[in-house]
Structure 1
Amino acid sequence: MGIGTRRISLLDVVNAVGLSLLLFLAARALLGLILRWIGQARVLDAAQRVLFQKLAQIAVVTFAIFIGIDLLGIDLTALAVFSGAFGLAIGFGLQKTLGNLIAGLILLLDRSIKPGDVIAVGDTFGWVNKIGVRAVSVLTRDGKEHLIPNERLMTDEVENWSFSSRDVRVHVGFRVSFDCDLRLAQRLAVEAASVSPRVLTDPAPVCWIKAFGDNGVEFDLRIWIDSPEAGVGNVTSDVFFRIWDLFKEHGVTMPVPQRDLRFHPISETQSAPMTEPHQDGPTVNR
C-alpha cells in the first residue's frame, strides 16, 4: 500500500503500533515516577506539588509525541498546510478547555486557591478537594462535589476563608427583654461561647449591644473558629443551646413579639346611617 511516494507495508503498521504502545507504557511509567517523587517532596506545599505535577504531565506527553514522530520517520513538512488548518480548528474548538487549563496553572502559580482551602463561589461553599485541568472540585458539607470551571474562579468574586489565616469570625445574634439585666445577659453569652469546644479562646468571644429593637434588646455575639471546613452552623447551634440553658438558669428572658389592639368608641354622628333625601313626588320646575 502506498500513500503518495511512500510505501507502507504490514510490517510498518505493526512496528508503528508496537512503538506507540511501547512509548505509551514508557511515558506512563516515567510519569508515575515523577508524580510520586513530586508528591513526596517535603520542600513543596500542596499547591506547588499540584502545579509541578500538571507541568510534568504536559512535558512527558509532549516529549513522548515528538519522540514517536521522530522514530516513525513522519515528515511534518508535507503536512504543514493541513496541520495549520487542523490546529486552527482545534484551537477554536478547545478555546474554553485551553482557557481553563491556563487559568488552572495561574491559580496554582499565584497560590490564591490551593487544595484544602475553604472557599465560597456564588451559592457554593466548601473546601477545595482538587484542582484539575478543566475545573476545581469543591466538596460541600452535604457531601456534594461541585466542579467549578477554572476560568470562573479567575473572573468571578471568590471568598477564600483560609487564604491568609484559617481563623474565621462568626456572628451569633439574639435578643433579650427590656426588663432583664443586660450586663448579666452579656456575661452569660460570652460564658456560653467560651465553653463551646470549637470556639477559640484567642481571640476571645465578645458580645455587644447591637440595637434597641421593637421587641427587645438585640445583641451581637462574635466568636472565632479555626476549622470552617467542619461547618459553621453546628457551632452556632451549640452556642445557642448553651445560651438558652444559661438564660433559663439565671432568669434571663427572651422577648415574645406582642401586638396591642385598641378599639376607639364611635360617636353618635359617626354611627348615624347615611340616608338619601326622600321625595314624595316629582319636582316640577316653574
Structure 2
Amino acid sequence: MAEDAPEETSVAAAEGIREAVSSKSETAGTILDTLDAFALSFGDFRVSVFDILIVVTVIFGVLALAWFISKLAKRGVRRITRLDDTQQLLVEKIVTIVVWAAAFFLGIDLLGIDLTALAVFSGAFGLAIGFGLQKTFGNLIAGIILLMDKSIKPGDVIAVADMAGNETFGQIRKIGVRAVSVTTRDQREYLIPNENLMINQVENWSYSSKNVRMQVAVGVSYEADMDLAEKLMLEAASQCDRVLKAPPPTVWMSEYGDNSVNFVIHCWIDDPEEGVGNVRSAVLKKLWWLFKENGVEIPFPQRDIHLRSSDQLDRIFAQFADQKSNASSVAKE
C-alpha cells in the first residue's frame, strides 16, 4: 500500500527509477529495494538511502549540464563578430542567468518535487530574499544596466580611492555579478560593488575618449632665459614616445615662486592604462639633460639671513677677530 502512495515518498523520481530497474534486472532491483529499506519516516514524509543517492546524482548531473551548456553558450557568443566586448559580456551574463534558471526548474522536475508543498514556506522564503539578498540582486541588476548603457566597460580606466582616501587610477578587468574588478598600476585589485558605480560619481578616463592630458611641473632660475627654457620643455615632451603629436605639448608659466619661476608642461597620451607617472618621469629625465647642455639652471631653495646688531654679538665678533690675529702672529713666528 505504501508503494502505491506517491505522497509517502520524498522523491518521486526515485520511485520511478527503482521500478524501471526492477523490471529490467531482478538482482539490481533487490539491491535498490535494500537501499530503499533503510529510511527515516516523519509522519507521511519518508527519506531512504536510495532517495538521497538519487537526489545527489540529479543535483550533480544538472549542475554539470548547466556548467557545460553555459561554457558552450559563452564560446558561441564570443564567435559573433558583430558584437563588441561590452555587448558580448552582457549577452553572456543573460545567457548564464537563463541557463541556470532552466537548470533549477529541470532539477525540480526530475526530482518530482511538488512546488505546492513549499507554499507554507513561501512567505518566509520571500522575506529572506527581500532582506538577505536584496544587495545581491541590486548589484546584479546594476551590473546589467552598466553594460547596457556602456558607461562602465572592461578596459576602461577609472579613478578609485583606497580606505585612506588616497585616489589613484585603475583599469577595469571584469564586471562580475556582484562587483567590478579594478586593478591599479601597483597590482592592487579593488572589488567595487556594481551599485556604487551606478549611483556614485565616477571619473572615467576613457568613457568617450582615451586621450588624457597630464601635467609636468618644472621650475627654472630667475636668471635663466625663459624663451630657451620653454623651447627645451617642449622639445623634452615631444621626444617621449608615448606623448601624442596631436594635440601637441604646450608650456604655461604658472607662477613666480619663492626660489624659481614655475612652469607646467601639458602633454597628451592615449594609453592611460600603461601608467602616467612613467611618462612624467621620462619627460623630466630628458629635460634634465637638455637643461645641462644649454646651461639652464634648476634652482634650489635659497635664504638670505639678516642678523640684528647687539652689544653681545659685537663682543663675539671681536673675540673671533682677536683669535684670528693671534693665529696669524703665531704662524709668522
Q: Alpha-carbon deviation of 1:188?
A: 0.6
Q: Partner of 1:252 in structure 2? A: 296
Cα offset for 1:125? 1.9
Superimposed CA distance per residue, residues 45-98 of structure 1 (whole angstroms, 9 cap, x where no aligned partner): 112111111111111111111122223322212211302212311331122222
Does 1 or 2 have the higher relative contact order (CA < 8 Å, sep 6+)? 1
Of 203, 211, 234 in structure 1, the residue corresponding to residue 278 of structure 2 is 234
Structure 2 runs not aligned, ≥5 long: 1-39, 162-166, 312-333
Aligned to 1:36: 75
Query: 1:153-210 CA deviation, whole Å, 9 max, x = no partner?
Result: 1233221111111111000111111221111110110001101111111111111111
Q: Which runs of no fewer than 5 residues in structure 1 stay unpaired? A: 268-286
Would you say the 8 A contact 1:121–1:157 is kept in 2? no
Match of 2:172 among 108, 115, 128: 128
Matches within 5 A, 1:185-200: 185-200=229-244
Equivalent in the alignment of 1:278: none
In the superposition, the TM-score normalised over structure 1's length comes to: 0.86
Report the alpha carbon displacement of residue 141 of structure 1 after superposing the two structures with TM.
Answer: 1.1
How far did residue 229 of structure 1 move?
1.0
The 1-side partners of 2:168 and 2:291 are apart by 35
The structure 2 residue matched to 1:201, chosen from 207, 228, 245, is 245
Corresponding residue of 2:269: 225
Deviations 1:92-132 (A, max 9, x none): 11222222222211211111111111111223421011111
User: TM-score when scaled to structure 2?
Assistant: 0.75
- CA distance in 2 between partners of 1:259 and 1:252 (Å): 21
CA–CA separation in structure 1 for the residues paired with 2:184 and 2:64: 37
Deviations 1:229-282 (A, max 9, x none): 111111101100111111111111122221111223359xxxxxxxxxxxxxxx
Between 1:229-238 and 1:205-214, the stretch displaced more is 205-214
C-alpha distance in structure 2 between counterparts of 1:168 and 1:40, whole Å:
32
Cα deviation, residue 15, structure 1: 3.8
Match of 1:70 among 109, 119, 129: 109
1:25 deviates by 2.4
**Residue 10 (structure 1) shift:** 5.2
* 1:143 aligned residue (178, 183, 187): 187
Aligned to 2:142: 103
Aligned-residue Cα RMSD (Å) equals 2.1
**Letter matched to residue 84 of structure 2:** D
Change (3 A) 1:21 1:257: closer
- Once residues 50 and 300 of structure 2 are traced to their aligned partners in structure 1, the CA distance between those partners, rounded to angstroms, is 90
Q: Which has the higher helix share?
A: 2
Instruction: Calculate percent identity across the aligned residue pairs.
Output: 54
Taking a change above 3 Å as real, the CA distance of residues 104 and 186 of structure 1, as seen in their structure-2 partners, is same
